[in-house]
Every structure is written in structure tokens, then in C-alpha cells.
Amino acid sequence: MLDPHGLYELADDLPDLGRPVLVQALSGFVDAGNAVRLAREHLLETLESRPVATFDIDQLLDYRSRRPPMIFIEDHWESYEAPKLELHLLHDDAGTSFLLLTGPEPDLQWERLVAALTEVVERLGVRLTVGLNAIPMAVPHTRPTGITAHGTRRELVAGYEPWLQRVQVPGSAGHLLEFRLGEKGHDAMGFAAHVPHYLAQAEYPAAAEQLLTSVSKSTGLLLPTEGLRQASETVRADIDQQIAQTAEAAELVRALEEQYDAFTRGRQRGANLLADSGPLPTAEELGAELERFLAEQGKSGDSGPGQ
């Protein structure tokens, strides 16, 4: 592996951060409902921030698979939106410092990036690293947004009931970071918000709100969520209005509600919403049908939820 220290530059004028929390919100992996993006943008727009570390994105990104946008006007190129992988310093509503990692999930050199981030964690005395994710689930939008919590120590996720037993999923740089930090004895955890899979391609601010609320609960940070809550209410009203247009769509939602409620009652029996057993196939079929309905509504002139 190439020297991890050569992958980043850390500001030399950092104040005393105490023992900060680092929130990891990379883009590029599964982000159902754009929840991670919404949460990240909300923090950067609501709280004062400044970059304190930059990473050499040229070493990490496959530009051909994710081409940065450029603007062409008449006879010349006007602008280029260069990708950035940065660590920001922010302060919560109580003035407590914390760090936010933003940018595209790297295509290359995962182990080197993880080693570099581990150096940053140790140099800045980070006490806890928290990753954000959002996954599509066979759940109705009319029920509270669920959350899956995971961590390097059971004590970090105390009070969170598991939704899954054992499952193999594609890896991500963020999950590898959590795994490697745990191997080195550092505290790390993550949250995955459950987004109704018929809304996975739309903006679903309720999931972003739940992510930030979960971070606040686990870290003591006072993160702002009011703007996301208001957006959630607007999106919910939009979805409800679309579904109410036909009895068939309303029936589909009721069926998902019944399956969700039955699952919630039977959690102690080891059921899970991603298992290849029980009523899930029916839930997926219902969700797919509802997704088609909402897509058709959008094509007919309605902007659709979250648009």
C-alpha cells in the first residue's frame, strides 16, 4: 500500500476539538430516498463549517464511471464541477465541535483511504465515528421510519433492536472504515434508515431526519432537524394525495401496513424484512405495483413526491 499520509492534507490551524465525533456521509453507495445526501446538505447549509482536511481525489476516483459535470455555452466551456473529498469542521446548536466527511465514495484504494482516515481519527482524538446509510425496505410510508444500527461494540447500539439476522451485502468504503476502526480498538458505528422501496428514487426527508436524530441520540450532539421535519410533512402530504387518487393504490398501502405491523409484533421470532421467506415476496410485489402507480402519476403531470 502507498503511504496513507500522502493521500491527505490536514489544516495546521485547527483549534482544540476536544474529543470530537466524526460523521461519515459519503455518496455513491446505496442512498435510498437520497437520505444521506439530504442529511449532509442540511448540516452544511444550516451550520457554519470549514474544510479542515482534503483528500487527493485523483488517486481515488474512476472518472470514467462517474464523470464530473461540465457546462458548455455556445463556443466554450464555462465551468467544471470538480469532485472533492473533504473533512469539514462544524459546530452543533450547542457549539460543540464535530467533523463531517463528505464527497464521492472512492472507486480505488479503499484500504489506503481507510488507513488515512484512521490516521486522522488518531491525530484529532476522534472518540466515535458514525456512518450514515439509507436502504430500500418493504415498509409503508405511513409508519415511523425504521433504523438499523450497527457498531464495533454492542454497548454502542444498546437500545436498538436488530431488523436483520445474517445477510451478505456488497461492501462499501464507509463500512470498511467502521470494520477496520473496530479492529484497531476505535469506537465506530453506523445507522441505515429504512426507506419504502417504492420511494427509493425520490427524495425522502423523513429518512434524513431519522438519521440525524439517531446521531444526536447516540452522540449527544444537538443537530438541527426542523427543516427536514417540515420537508417530511410536505412530502408525506404529497404522497398521500397521490395514493388517495385510486382505491387500488390505497389498498396496496394498507397491505404493506398489515405486513409491517405483523412483522413488528413478531420480531422476537427472528423475522426480518429482507429475508427470503415469509410474506416478503408479497410485500415486494405490492411495493413494485405502488412504485409503478406513483411513477405514472409523475408522468401525467404531477411533480411527484420530493421533486
Mean pLDDT for back-to-back runs of 10 residues, the chain (307 residues): 93 93 93 97 97 97 95 98 97 97 97 98 97 94 95 94 78 96 98 94 97 97 97 96 89 90 71 43 58 63 43
pLDDT at 277: 36
Same-domain pairing of 37 and 117: yes
Give the model's pLDDT for residue 179: 98
* Model pLDDT, residue 84: 97
For residue 263, the model assigns a pLDDT of 81
The pLDDT value given to residue 305: 41
Q: Of the residues 160, 190, 224, which one is the last residue of a structural domain?
A: 224
Do 20 and 156 sit in the same domain of this protein? Answer: yes
Does residue 304 sit within a domain? Answer: no
- Is 48 contained in some domain? yes
Looking at residue 115, which CATH number applies to its domain?
3.40.50.10900
Q: What pLDDT, on a 0 to 100 scale, did the predictor assign at position 274?
A: 44
| DSSP line for 85-112 | -EEEEEE-TT--EEEEEEEEPPSS-HHH
pLDDT at 163: 67
Provide the residue range defining the domain that includes 107: 4-224
Joined grid coordinates for residue 295 = 411513477
Separation between Cα atoms, residue 244 and residue 144, nearest integer Å: 20
Is the same domain home to 237 and 261?
yes
pLDDT at residue 289, as a whole number: 64
Domain end: 224, 241, 266, which one?
Answer: 224
200 and 243 housed in the same domain = no
For residues 179 and 256, membership in a common domain is answered with: no
* Residue 54 shares a structural domain with residue 144: yes
Residue 217, all three cell numbers: 441520540
Closest CA to 173 of 193, 190, 156: 190
Element (H, E) at 185: none
Say if residue 71 is in the same domain as residue 159. Answer: yes
Indicate whether 14 and 159 sit together in one domain: yes
CA-CA distance, 68 to 87, in Å (whole number)? 20
Give rounded-to-5 percent helix, strand, coil for the chain: 40, 20, 35
Question: Is the domain of 216 the same as that of 237?
Answer: no
How far is residue 229's CA from residue 252's CA, in Å, rounded to a whole number? 26
- Does pTM top 0.85 for this prediction? yes
How many whole angstroms separate alpha carbon 296 and alpha carbon 171?
A: 33
pLDDT recorded at residue 262: 86
The H or E element that residue 120 is part of is: helix 110-123
Q: Are residues 193 and 247 in the same domain?
A: no
Cα 17 versus chain centre, distance: 25
**The last residue of a domain, from among 224, 246, 276:** 224
State how far the Cα of 198 lies from the Cα of 136, in Å rounded to an integer. 8
Cβ(116)–Cβ(141) below 8 Å? no
Do residue 243 and residue 170 come from a single domain? no
Nearest-CA neighbor of 130 among 23, 37, 16, 271? 23
Contact residues for 57 (Cβ-Cβ < 8 A; gap 6+): 82, 83, 84, 85, 103, 104, 106
State the pLDDT at residue 276: 37
Q: What is the pLDDT of residue 56?
A: 97
Residue 101 lies in a domain: yes
The total of structural domains in the chain comes to 2
Question: How far from each other are the two terminal CA atoms of the chain, in whole angstroms?
Answer: 43
pLDDT of residue 287: 62
Strand partners, 87: 53, 101
Same domain for 126 and 207: yes
- What lies within 8 Å, CB to CB, of 203 at 6+ separation is 33, 34, 38, 235, 305, 306, 307
Closest CA to 129 of 117, 137, 111: 117
Q: Is residue 306 part of a domain?
A: no
